[in-house]
Amino acid sequence: MLELSFTAADVAYTRFAFSPVWEVVASVLVLKGELGRDIHPRWTAMATDRLRGFDWRPLGDLVLPHARVIPAFVCPPPASPLPDLDTELAVLRATPADQIARETRAIPAITTPPPSADTLADVVQEYWDRAIAPFWPRIRTLLEADVRYRARRLTTGGASALFADLNPAVRWRDDRLLVDHPLVSARRGLRGRGLLLVPSAFVWPRVFSITVQGWQPTLRYPARGVAGLWADRKVSPSAALAGVLGRGRARLLAELDEPASTKDLAGRTGITPGGVSQHLTALRAAGLLTSHRVGREVLYARTDIAESLLGR
């Protein structure tokens, strides 16, 4: 059991943030079978295929299933509410070599020499490009919805309402937050630093915490609605949208329920590969698509703007 004691200042300084690097780390535990077995099989299949041929062991060797801790330098708590991957990788690259060595030595289960900060950051970047980036607009939409919901709970009902349905392992009692933790038994005071709450798409069904010196105390928890993250969301574009974009481009947007290549989309829609390529280029220039290279393929995915236009 982890027990976190709050003061009035701690409640005032409690905040929310996303962490792209944490999604990478938690997704590694999904691929290794510890997390999300029941809700991420669709993503697991796609990510396994897209990671084929890429050696991500420098990351995987540091993120071990059922370990008591994950080295803090791998995924430090974000300093801003909406950090992008580049910002978090800059923090990782700046990690001193002696800190990396010290934190890995403290985890007996890690038996391989730790990589340099630059090597690890490069691996995280490539892993992200292959396995997370094509799905990031969908994931971020889920995380943003959770933060809006939690912020309303905090505003209308205080800390007790905020934590009441955060996770079955989390309970608010008087001025303390009790977190059922299979590997940690400790009492910690937040000492006016507040608690950083990080919703996650890949952490289900567990919660993860950081209470070590040097970082704001942090709780990473499953985002609300994560069970439906990979549900089929194909929609038919409205006549109005087709009138603005053209029927072909509107249909391509609707087809991109999950990332796909030009060849995939041509096969589904009957539009020639050249035509699909022209449409995708125009949609990307308009901010409605993102593109990510995975091996020899370029995969396209809808942006948040496109999701809004389709009525999601």
* Tens digit of each residue's pLDDT (9 = 90 or more) over 223-239: 999 998 887 666 677 88
Question: So what's the pLDDT on residue 80?
Answer: 85
Question: So what's the pLDDT on residue 295?
Answer: 67
> Tens of pLDDT along 34-85?
998 889 999 999 999 999 999 999 999 999 998 878 999 999 899 888 889 9
Convert the chain into a string of H (helix), E (strand) and C (coil): CEEEECCHHHHHCCEECCCHHHHHHHHHHHHCCCCCCCCCHHHHHHHHHHHCCCCCHHHHCCCCCCCCCCCHHHCCCCCCCCCCHHHHHHHHHCCCHHHHHHHHHCCCCCCCCCCCHHHHHHHHHHHHHHHHHHHHHHHHHHHHHHHHHHHHHHHHHHHHHHHHCCCCCEEEECCEEEECCCCCCEEEECCCCCCEEEEECCCCCCCEEECCCCCCCEEEEECCCHHHCCCCCCCCCCHHHHHHHCHHHHHHHHHCCCCECHHHHHHHHCCCHHHHHHHHHHHHHCCCEEEEEECCEEEEEECHHHHHHCCC
> Tens of pLDDT along 142-181?
898 899 899 889 888 888 899 999 999 999 998 899 998 7
CA distance 114 to 64: 13
Question: So what's the pLDDT on residue 118?
Answer: 97
Torsion of CA 242, 247, 249, 254, to 10 degrees: 70
Q: What percent of the chain has pLDDT over 90?
A: 53
Global confidence as pTM:
0.80
Neighbours of 47 (CB within 10 A): 21
**Selection from 307, 304, 298 nearest residue 280 by Cα:** 298
Q: Would you give the end-to-end CA distance of the chain in angstroms?
A: 39
CA distance 250 to 173: 51
Tokens of 122: 């490069």
Tokens of 109: 């289960």
CA distance 165 to 51: 35
Q: Hey, what CATH topology would domain 239-309 get?
A: Arc Repressor Mutant, subunit A (1.10.10)
> One-letter amino acid identity for 167?
N
Domain parsing of the chain, residue ranges: 2-228, 239-309
Tokens of 60: 């995987």
